[in-house]
Amino acid sequence: MSKLAAVRPAYWIAGVLLALSVVVPLLVSTYAKDEPRLWGFPFFYWYQLAWVFVSAITVSISYRLVLGEERKRRAAAGLDTGTSKGGDK
């Protein structure tokens, strides 16, 4: 079995969400315009600001997905699944 086949779907989903949060705001053609305006602000400004919040949400979702997979992996391996914040022992 290849290493690629061993990657779980949660990691793929997290990767796609993170990639979207980085790539879409870099696509200048999606926001290089003045209209429509929102409360007098050109599209450029509020679109970029909206991506700040969207990115925070996608990072949060990705974190929870990866954290859940890591907990499952550690439980399957019989490792400590406690909630200690001190790191691995």
* Span 32-44, pLDDT tens digits: 777 887 788 888 8
Q: Does the structure show a pLDDT above 50 at 77?
A: yes
> Where do the H-state alpha helices sit in the chain?
9-23, 43-76
Q: How far apart are CA 65 and CA 50, in angstroms?
A: 23
Crossing angle for the helix pair 9-23 and 43-76, to the nearest 10 degrees: 160
Residue 62 CA neighbour count, 13 Å, CB half: 17
pLDDT in tens, 60-73: 999 998 888 888 87
pLDDT in tens, 1-27: 455 556 678 888 888 999 999 998 888
> Domain-by-domain residue ranges, the chain?
8-76
Q: How far apart are CA 65 and CA 78, in angstroms?
A: 20
Instruction: Work out the pLDDT band at 55, boundaries 50, 70, 90.
Output: very high
